[in-house]
Amino acid sequence: MGIRRGELKDLNPSDIALLGIPFDENSSYSRGPAKAPELIIEAIESDSANFYTENLTDLNKHPRVKWCGNAALSDYFSIEKPIQEILDKNAIPFSLGGDHSMTYPIMKAMATKYPNLQIIQFDAHGDLYDELDGNVHSHACPFARIMENGLVKNLTQIGIRTMTDHQKEQADRFGVQVIEMKDWSAEINLIFDDPVYVTFDMDVLDPAFAPGVSHHEPGGLSTREALGMIQKLNANIVGCDVVEYNPTRDINGMTAMVSAKIVKELLAKLV
Ligand code: MN
Ligand code: MN
């Protein structure tokens, strides 16, 4: 029983490559997400649950879903290379973080293949700072870098509840569609015409549901509400990442299981 193991060099077209990005050097407050990827896979394979998604996709040894292990990284920008390798095989990258800064180098690779990419970002934070603590690659900045480099057609953020004047200016400047948590409702329907990349920061969930994150920001989505948003996404999803699970802040591996559930339901959209 388990998720099939694979190697990047052996991927087939339309495979979904689960890849660990053990990188948290751009975290501003607390390290830990680098240890997350294997723990999320372990949670998916836990004997306490089965391998089915809620739409009855059986992920046990699913022929198209392959855990490719952790990427071998030399530095921050080396994250781009394995993603490029996956895209060169016409496979779909599904990265397990890692802190949120990783989405910028990932998007550098994605942009070469998908010139009209649209991003959906689930997050308590906009991550649009021009810089934080003097670091332009902080996990608080990746979407500023992505937008100013024109890597995607547009960005839609869901669950934001930490807006500042500066980030409001940045969002306006980049034409970001921000659905703040205070304005969120389960009835919101998002329509995407072009290929979509989904980036899911675990702190979009209320810390009551997902305590294993670096930044506890109250007033977020319930796990059920987030799953509902994922399940009704009507989009051609060409890549995903689930980031910011921090096992050093977790309680009894609860947030590992929540991360695993989010990954499983996103996989159900991809296979
Ligand atoms: Mn984030
Ligand atoms: Mn966040």
The Å distance, Cα 29 to ligand 2 centre, comes to 12
Ligand 1 centroid to residue 114 C-alpha, Å: 22
Tokens representing residue 144 in the block:
């500023």
Domains of the chain listed by start with CATH number: 4-270 (3.40.800.10)
Three-state DSSP state, 160? strand
What tens digit of pLDDT does each residue of 212-267 get? 999 999 999 999 999 999 999 999 999 999 999 999 999 999 999 999 999 999 99
What's the pLDDT score for residue 9? 97
How do residues 65-87 score in pLDDT, each as one tens digit? 999 999 999 999 999 999 999 99
Residue 148 has pLDDT above 90, yes or no: yes
- Relative to the alpha carbon of 181, which ligand is closest? 2
pTM score: 0.98
pLDDT at 260: 98
The secondary element (H helix, E strand) that includes residue 119 is: strand 118-122
Lateral strand order in the sheet of 16-20: 4-5, 65-70, 16-20, 92-96, 237-243, 196-201, 118-122, 154-160, 177-180
How many angstroms separate the CA atoms of 6 and 252, rounded?
29
Where residue 141 falls among pLDDT bands split at 50, 70, 90? very high
User: Measured between alpha carbons, how far is 236 from 65 in angstroms, rounded to an integer?
Assistant: 17
Distance (angstroms) between ligand 2 centre and the Cα of 10 equals 34
Report the separation in Å between the CA atom of 247 and the middle of ligand 2, taken as the mean of its atom positions: 15
With H, G, I as helix, E, B as strand and everything else as coil, classify residue 4: strand
pLDDT at 138 over 90: yes
Closest CA to 16 of 51, 52, 62: 62
Contacts 24+ apart (CB under 8 A), 132-135: 132/28, 133/28, 135/26, 135/28
pLDDT score for 189: 87
pLDDT, average across residues 5-18: 98
The per-residue pLDDT for range 156-192, each reduced to its tens digit, is: 999 999 999 999 999 999 999 999 999 999 999 888 9
In the structure encoding, which two tokens stand for residue 63, read together?
């022929």
- Bridge-partner residues for 239, per DSSP? 197
Is residue 146 very low, low, confident or very high in pLDDT (cuts 50, 70, 90)?
Answer: very high
Average pLDDT score over the chain? 98
Tell me the CA–centroid distance for residue 203 and ligand 2, in Å.
5
Best CA proximity match to 215, nearest among 32, 36, 40, 42: 32
Among candidates 131, 156, 159, which has minimal Cα distance to 215? 159
Confidence of residue 99 (pLDDT cuts 50, 70, 90): very high
pLDDT band at 52 (very low <50, low <70, confident <90, very high): very high
In this model, does residue 56 exceed pLDDT 90?
Answer: yes
pLDDT at 190: 87
Ramachandran assignment for 61, one of left (phi > 0), alpha (psi -120 to 50 degrees), beta (any other): left
Q: What is the pLDDT of residue 27?
A: 95
Share of the chain above pLDDT 70, in %: 100
State the distance from the centre of ligand 1 to the C-alpha of 238, rounded, in angstroms.
Answer: 20
Distance from Cα 173 to the centre of ligand 2, integer Å: 21
End-to-end Cα, the chain, rounded Å: 19
| Strand boundaries in 141-220, DSSP class E | 154-160, 177-180, 196-201
Find the 146 Cα to ligand 2 centroid distance in Å: 16
CB-proximal residues (5 Å) to ion ligand 1: 100, 123, 127, 201
